[in-house]
Chain A
Amino acid sequence: MSKIAATASDTPAFDLKGSTFPMLILYLYSTDLSAIEQQVQARMLSAPDLFSYDPVVLDMSKLGNQQETPDYAAIRTILHSHKLVLVGVANAGEEHAEAAQKVGLGLFNGGVLTKPRVAEPAPVEEAPQPPAEPVAISRVARIITSPVRTGQQIYAKGGDLIVLAPVSAGAEVLADGNIHVYASLRGRALAGARGDESARIFIRSMEAELISIAGSYKAINEELSREMHGKAVQAYLVDEQLRIEVMA
């Protein structure tokens, strides 16, 4: 460390450091603006307050090469109206990347961003890697001790939700992480609300109207309800299919 006394002129105005902020990824399957708009709208409808201007990266890896260059500015506007801020694109081909740069978006390239975790077991690595820097995702659980009543919505942003009282019919509990309900769940539960497919839902007494993980949902029909009514269950995704099973 240098011992030069700091004067007004050489007081640092900033520090530039590397970081690994967790970020939302939006995988683009199509460049059709009206389809994007409609589906974003539909997805947000169930939870209008899901986002508060969180940064999001557009991943182009699922977009076939034949697709025309997306209208980034328009996509940015659509996302912004749902409180998402488009900050950059990832895995874009040369042409797409150039267009993104022109409208002021950052470029992320393959490997920089991790894919969202999925439920299937990770492939075994040859040699154990040194642990990566801890990711800044908040896993602090939100704990609710009083009943969640009809018409109420509880959302645990960035983490798990633990509910120690009944959730009424017509009430909704959401979490970015897992949801635990140590009482009866008669309303709706949506875990992995921002796309975490590894999120799970645990219910002491299953009487739910709807269960959803990372957007895959199951409305609980009569047959399901007959099978599971009042039982302890867990729900999770297997190959993007929602599975609900009774726990012993």
Chain B
Amino acid sequence: MAKVIVVTSGKGGVGKTTTSASFATGLALQGHKVAVLDFDVGLRNLDLIMGCERRVVYDFVNVINQEATLKQALIKDKHCDNLYILPASQTRDKDALTVEGVERVIDELKESFDYIVCDSPAGIEKGAIMALYFADEALVVTNPEVSSVRDSDRILGMLSAKSRRAEKGESPVKEHLLVTRYSPKRAKNGEMLSVADVQEILNVPLLGVIPESEVVLQASNAGAPAIHQNGSDVSEAYGDAIARFLGEERPMRFTTEKPGLLQRLFGG
């Protein structure tokens, strides 16, 4: 049975698109058939992060309006054979997406994909609700700061009240917490919340911790999701999160400061 995963947060700029790209890629690298959908109509970022912006001909809104078929609009990823991208429209606004239209697209995708990853726009209004409406599972992307945690809390409320599962009285959307842009050093100095603080406030199972790293910017400039930066902390951290999502147990990493060189030589 195909699963719909929404990547959501409430707040903007926390790493939803970065996560959507790497998560979708990671699932595909594990052999699953994956489609990743950009719900951020009007901004269109996902295609840039995936490095396929020059191949966009049709977009999500064209498919909704039946100006193009899904097959015409889906872009095959340049690195993975079983990964496809449905880009957002740059020229339309969020009202262009309708529940019926999105449902039709998702139902059609379910026929041939294992996972459908929905990259949500920021906010708690219509666009964000549309992205989470059909979700079976949710990655709640949160930065270790009070405003981001507060917005994630709001979006968790939306998942439990406004999703289709909630409206139909089905089993609730499965929630996962992904703390991103985490800097153990700054958390230790009290400049940021710790992972434990975030988890305590949100009360959602922790799927992973993605460290703050310049690798993300480099990856975005290179037009390839950060998970492809083999050996980097970010790539490893996304790899761990995906393994946990698929049922594997892995110890949490990147939550404490790396020992410095001197510490490593002489012991802490």
What is A's interface to B at a CB cutoff of 8 Å? Answer: 146-152, 165-166, 168-171, 186
Inside 8 A of B156's CB, which chain A residues have their CB?
A: 147, 149
Q: Is the interface of B mostly helix, strand, loop or mixed?
A: helix
Q: Which 7 A-B pairs have the closest CB atoms?
A: A149-B157, A150-B153, A150-B154, A152-B157, A151-B154, A168-B153, A149-B153
Inside 8 A of B161's CB, which chain A residues have their CB?
A: 152
CA distance A146 to B153 in the complex (A): 13
Q: Are A151 and B157 in contact (CB under 8 A)?
A: yes
Q: Can you list 18 A-B contacts with CB-CB less than 8 angstroms, sorted by A residue number?
A: A146-B160, A147-B160, A148-B157, A149-B157, A149-B160, A150-B150, A150-B151, A151-B154, A151-B157, A152-B157, A165-B203, A166-B203, A168-B153, A169-B150, A169-B201, A170-B150, A170-B154, A186-B201
Contact of B157 among A150, A165, A169 (CB under 8 A): A150
| Those of B175-197 within 8 Å (CB) of chain A | none
Q: Does B172 contact A (CB under 8 A)?
A: yes
Q: Does B124 contact A (CB under 8 A)?
A: yes
Inside 8 A of B124's CB, which chain A residues have their CB?
A: 151
CA distance A148 to B160 in the complex (A): 9
Inside 8 A of B154's CB, which chain A residues have their CB?
A: 149-151, 170
Inside 8 A of A148's CB, which chain B residues have their CB?
A: 157
Nearest A residue to B124 via CB reads A151
User: Residues 125-154 of chain B: 1 if any A CB is under 8 Å from the residue's CB, otherwise 0?
Assistant: 000000000000000000000000011011
Closest beta carbon of chain B to A42's beta carbon, Å: 26
Nearest A residue to B146 via CB reads A169
| Those of B183-238 within 8 Å (CB) of chain A | 201, 203
Closest beta carbon of chain B to A167's beta carbon, Å: 11
Inside 8 A of B150's CB, which chain A residues have their CB?
A: 150, 169-170
CA distance A170 to B153 in the complex (A): 9
CA distance A150 to B152 in the complex (A): 9
